[in-house]
């Protein structure tokens, strides 16, 4: 069973693979219960985290209470996620391109197996942002080492 099968079920994995073969087709696969989703477009795949949603704003406010510098817009989510990946999943940084915006964090991979890398990143980020207590502990423990925007 591949990573798509594990994350999204067998039928979704087939649909995503089929659409990747088409030209300029974008497929969005949502991760359950967050504002995090995956996209696939020809030779590029990645994740988008909608940080302006009510749920993410609430989570961001909690992180800002822990660290005054942690104003959680897309830029600081990039800083936090990159730091987390450096500490826990450095292999996911290889080939990762990020393009944060005020209301979004966007990360992508290009080329062969981009969809597999993006699916793994989606899984890691899903776990990271839905474990509120763990995320708060991480920020508390590393707030002075993280180079906030």
Tens of pLDDT, residues 51-103 = 999 999 999 999 999 999 999 999 999 999 999 999 999 999 999 999 999 99
Distant-in-sequence contacts of 90-96, Cβ < 8 A, 24+ apart? 92/117, 92/120, 92/121, 92/124, 96/121
Q: How far is CA 129 from CA 18, 21, 61, 95, 100, in A?
A: 29, 31, 13, 22, 17
What is residue 70's predicted lDDT score, i.e. its pLDDT?
Answer: 93
pLDDT digits (tens, 9 = 90+) for 3-52: 333 344 444 433 343 334 443 344 444 444 458 999 998 889 999 999 99
pLDDT value at residue 34: 58
Determine the pLDDT at residue 11.
40
Strand order from edge to edge, sheet including 104-110? 26-30, 36-41, 44-50, 104-110, 97-98
> pLDDT of 99-138, one tens digit each?
999 999 999 999 989 999 999 999 999 999 999 999 999 9
Q: What SS3 state is found at 118?
A: helix
Tokens of residue 52, six digits? 């302006």
The DSSP secondary-structure symbol of 34 reads S
39 CB burial (10 A radius; 0-12, 13-18, 19+): middle
Closest CA to 127 of 25, 22, 33, 58: 33
Task: Look at residue 112 in the predicted model and tell me its pLDDT.
Answer: 86
Q: Within a 13 Å sphere around the CA of 17, how many CA atoms are in the beta-carbon half?
A: 13
So what's the pLDDT on residue 41? 86
Q: How far apart are the first and last CA of the chain?
A: 39
């Amino acid at each position: 069973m591949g990573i798509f099968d594990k994350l999204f079920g067998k039928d979704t994995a087939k649909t995503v693979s089929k659409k990747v073969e088409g030209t300029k087709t974008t497929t969005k696969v949502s991760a359950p219960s967050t504002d995090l989703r995956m996209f696939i477009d020809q030779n590029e795949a990645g994740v988008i985290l909608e940080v302006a949603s009510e749920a993410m704003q609430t989570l961001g406010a909690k992180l800002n209470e822990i660290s005054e510098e942690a104003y959680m817009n897309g830029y600081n989510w990039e800083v936090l996620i990159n730091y987390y990946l450096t500490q826990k999943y450095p292999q996911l940084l290889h080939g990762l391109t990020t393009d944060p915006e005020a209301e979004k964090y966007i990360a992508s991979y290009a080329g062969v197996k981009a969809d597999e890398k993006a699916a793994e990143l989606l899984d890691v980020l899903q776990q990271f942002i839905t474990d509120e207590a763990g995320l708060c502990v991480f920020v508390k423990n590393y707030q002075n080492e993280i180079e906030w925007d």
